[in-house]
């Protein structure tokens, strides 16, 4: 299990769950990217035992979209 400490100006509770913006601090962007990758990894691990779902999760990773999580 991982944890991320996000420290930036004008950051508030749950800032990492907001829609990314060009004005975001790089620390916040890095944390979001790391969290995104962790979720993709979890889904990939889960899909390894399920026929058909692995390809779907890989497609989501490739398209850089996990809209159903939002």
Predicted confidence (pLDDT) at residue 23 exceeds the cutoff of 80:
yes
- Averaged confidence pLDDT in the chain: 78
What does the domain layout of the chain look like in residue ranges? 37-70
pLDDT at 3: 81
Contacts with 43 (C-beta within 8 Å, 6 or more apart), sequence order:
57, 60
Residue 50 DSSP label: S
Q: How far apart are CA 32 and CA 19, in angstroms?
A: 10
Average of per-residue pLDDT across 42-58: 72
Predicted confidence (pLDDT) at residue 24 exceeds the cutoff of 80:
yes
pTM exceeds 0.75 for this model: no
């Amino acid at each position: 299990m991982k944890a991320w400490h996000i420290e930036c100006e004008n950051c508030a509770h749950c800032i990492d769950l907001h829609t990314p913006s060009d004005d975001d601090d790089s620390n916040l962007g890095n944390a979001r990217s790391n969290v995104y990758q962790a979720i993709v990894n979890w889904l990939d691990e889960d899909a390894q035992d399920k026929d058909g779902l692995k390809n779907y999760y890989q497609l989501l990773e490739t398209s850089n979209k996990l809209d159903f999580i939002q």
